[in-house]
A and B are shown apart, each in its own frame.
Chain A
Amino acid sequence: MRVLDLVWLIPAFPLLGFVTLLVLGRRLGEPMAGWVATGAAGGSFAATVLVYFAMLGEDAEERTHELVLFDWVPAGGLEVEAGFLADPLSITMCLFVTGVASLIHMYAIGYMHGDEKFSKFFLYLNLFLFSMTILVLGNNMVLTFLGWEGVGACSYFLISFWFHKDEAPAAGKKAFVTNRVGDFGYMLAMFLVFQFLGTLQYVEITEKAGNLASTSAAAITLLLLLAAAGKSAQIPLFVWLPDAMAGPTPVSAMVHAATMVTSGVYLTARMNAVLFQAPDWSTDIIAWVGAITALIAATAAVAQNDIKRVLAYSTISQLGYMFLAIGLGAYVAAIFHVITHAFFKALLFLGSGSVIHGMHDEQDMRRMGGLLKVMPFTGATFIVGWLAIAGVPPFSGFWSKDEILLFAWEQNIPLAIIGFVVAILTAYYMSRQVFMVFFGEPRWDAEIDGEPPEHEIHPHESSPLMWLPLVALAGLAFAGGFINTPITKDLLFLEHFLEPVFEERQIFLEAKGGEKLIFGTFATLTAVVGIVMAAQVYLRRKGKGAVEPELFENAWYIDDTYAKVTGGPGRQLFDAASTADQRVIDGTVNGVGTLVRQLGQQGRGTATGLVRNYAIPIAIGAVVLGGWFLTRASF
């Protein structure tokens, strides 16, 4: 038996944790339930590390390993197995998913302290992690779809976890419904793949994709983009993510920043053979969707006052970068950014959670300020996250983001320019957040729109249970970039590791050492520009009133437009469809029933129950038949 066969342990641990909590959750109570869930996540991480090292021991060509558990859907030409695909891409995803998830589980024990549904929260977290690992490890599109829907359902449960608030269930529903639109794209893409290639197994898809006609490949690519846009919050389906912040902060960190939202990137990277076959215009659409999403979300992030909403828009914006990379064919750069983003965004979200916790559930940044002295650990780690996302070398975000920008620069200058604008905006809004929250004068009792805070606020540092994961993530956010530094070819560990997955289908950088240095300096300069701008506005001016336009605060009114359209003309359309359904469809069905019934009513009279009434027609019939035979017979 090969060690790679142990890949099944990765989803098995969270499943075990889920079942344990399902049966014993209430009895375990706080904090045992949390530790059980954390143990399950940690076990999953340990299994991933084991598989990872086993994989490193194999030759590069031997690293793709399939473990088939059983035949899941044997239906004629369609054979769907329940099996796992352990290859460099899936294991890379698993490594950071289970690793970050373990830290967030641990953090959540502190964050959810005192919540009456404590054990249920961890039950959902484990179920989510199980679904996510299934999504990543599934060896065919159907199994991935199972995980895809699983994480969607868990996301819904977790967003509406505090269902006593008004906005939480509404946000959960919004996320679910918006995601359904994307799921529709996934299903159609799956049908087309089966139609054209006759298989849903990733390995076979990759082998056979070369035979795809370019129009079919384009159709599949665009449908995959729709699917990814739903899950990964891209235009036009990004509206659910900012609202999803109604969930508890560990959820925002894990589901809506580090793991689930990257599954769209994973899916498109997994299907790279199809994307390679698709014509340039269709992959250009992916790149442009990514770039425009990044720009719009970054401008929106600039004007938010809720500490979590800034991070939510920032997540959308960073996901936009990843799709920009996917569209250009720079898959390694996209996955690289997925990883570093998971580190620093999880760190920032957990840091914001720690701030919210210490501020007694106050989320408005206008009431914060000067928290660095009160919350030294949270503040210091948050600053690491800030420098990472702003792209200051040598923090991780610098390496991954600038790799994407460099690819854009070599392929498509307009996209690169958008990318640089977004980079400046990113540095600006993150610095704005850091300055508003951790620096300047304390404004803890500030009045906002004439309203004082709901209660007196005495900020305090969170427990070690919460800041220890922050320190670990800060370490990763600092050093995460070194897995793929482009200084020499030998340092591109990630690129070499992922090579068997993308082979020659991905593009490579042409720039030489000197050009890279100039480019890196320029990118650093953009980060510095953003930071200095924010410092000018928020440290000098001390935040008197908003400077950002209302257009940005409302995210270009895209969400409101959707609400208006579906509420107005959309509503009428739905009503019309409902009426048509009742009148035309139901009318036809019921009409057939009524017709048959009335005919039967008419015929009832003939059934008198008198034997002679039945016998006479039979006799007449017999005579007629006999007569007919006699006239035709020839003697």
Chain B
Amino acid sequence: MEVTTGWYLVLGALIFTIGGVGLLLRRNPIVMLMCVELMLNGVNVTFVGLATEFGDINGQTVVFFVLVVAAAEVVVGLGILVAVLRRRPGATADDLVELKG
């Protein structure tokens, strides 16, 4: 069975959906952050798949931008989460409401 671009698109959609559902259902902030990463990478797979299909390098270029933004986001997000969890071990995302002004 030949692996076509459609397979990659389905894979990307699956990863994106897993991430989205996980983000909505889980309470652990670190897991939620990981779910966001999953969603981003689901999109990345789609980009790369379509870039190969159309022979257009731009799709792969965008992926690099997404990776960089994701890395930056993780640095900031993890920094905040670690600081919160150190103060209150086992805090859920809902407990983060105390950061509201």
Q: Which of A283-291, A390-398, A433-441, A604-612 participates in binding chain B?
A: A604-612
B96 sits at the interface (CB 8 A): yes
Q: Is the CB of B100 within 8 A of A615?
A: no
Interface string of A591-613 (1 = CB under 8 A from B): 00000000000000001111110
Q: Which of A229-276 contact B (CB under 8 A)?
A: none
Interface string of B89-101 (1 = CB under 8 A from A): 0000110110110
Q: Is the CB of A610 within 8 A of B20?
A: no
How many chain A residues touch B (CB < 8 A): the figure is 10
Partner of A609, one of B20, B24, B32, B99: B99
B38 sits at the interface (CB 8 A): no
Q: Is the CB of B93 within 8 A of A611?
A: yes
Partner of B96, one of A611, A616, A619: A611
Q: Do A622 and B94 contact each other (CB < 8 Å), given the known contacts A609-B99, A609-B100?
A: no
Complex contacts, B32 vs chain A, CB 8 Å: 611
CA distance A615 to B93 in the complex (A): 12
CA distance A337 to B97 in the complex (A): 87
CA distance A83 to B92 in the complex (A): 75
Partner of B20, one of A607, A611, A612, A619: A619
Q: Is the CB of B24 within 8 A of A616?
A: yes
CA distance A616 to B97 in the complex (A): 16
Q: Which of B1-55 contact A (CB under 8 A)?
A: 20, 23-24, 32
A75: min CB distance to chain B, Å: 45
Q: Which B residue sits closest to A622, measured CB to CB?
A: B20
Q: Which of A518-555 contact B (CB under 8 A)?
A: none
Complex contacts, B20 vs chain A, CB 8 Å: 619, 622
Q: Is the CB of B97 within 8 A of A612?
A: no
CA distance A619 to B23 in the complex (A): 10
Interface string of A613-624 (1 = CB under 8 A from B): 001100100100
CA distance A615 to B100 in the complex (A): 17
Partner of A612, one of B94, B99, B100: B94
Partner of A615, one of B23, B96, B97, B99: B23
Q: Is the CB of A612 within 8 A of B96?
A: no
Complex contacts, B93 vs chain A, CB 8 Å: 610-612
Q: Is the CB of A619 within 8 A of B99?
A: no
CA distance A611 to B23 in the complex (A): 9
Complex contacts, B96 vs chain A, CB 8 Å: 609, 611
Q: Which A residue sits closest to B16, measured CB to CB?
A: A622
Complex contacts, B100 vs chain A, CB 8 Å: 607, 609
Q: Is the CB of A609 within 8 A of B23?
A: no
CA distance A612 to B97 in the complex (A): 11
Q: Is the CB of B97 within 8 A of A608?
A: yes
A621: min CB distance to chain B, Å: 12
Complex contacts, B99 vs chain A, CB 8 Å: 609
Interface string of B49-66 (1 = CB under 8 A from A): 000000000000000000
CA distance A610 to B27 in the complex (A): 11
CA distance A142 to B42 in the complex (A): 69
A603: min CB distance to chain B, Å: 15
Q: Which A residue sits closest to B25, measured CB to CB?
A: A612
CA distance A615 to B94 in the complex (A): 12
Q: Is the CB of B24 within 8 A of A619?
A: yes
Interface centre among A612, A619, A622 (most CB of B within 10 A): A612
CA distance A611 to B28 in the complex (A): 11
A574: min CB distance to chain B, Å: 47
A356: min CB distance to chain B, Å: 73
Q: Which A residue sits closest to B26, measured CB to CB?
A: A612
B83: min CB distance to chain A, Å: 17
- Name 12 interchain pairs, CB-CB below 8 A, sorted by A: A608-B97, A609-B97, A609-B99, A610-B97, A611-B32, A611-B93, A611-B94, A612-B93, A619-B20, A619-B23, A619-B24, A622-B20
- A residues with a Cβ closer than 8 A to B are 607-612, 615-616, 619, 622
Q: Assuming A608-B97, A610-B94, what are 16 further A-B pairs, CB within 8 angstroms?
A: A607-B100, A609-B96, A609-B100, A610-B93, A610-B97, A611-B32, A611-B93, A611-B94, A611-B96, A612-B93, A612-B94, A615-B23, A615-B24, A619-B20, A619-B23, A619-B24
Which 5 A-B pairs give the minimum distances between C-beta atoms? A609-B100, A609-B97, A611-B93, A610-B94, A615-B24
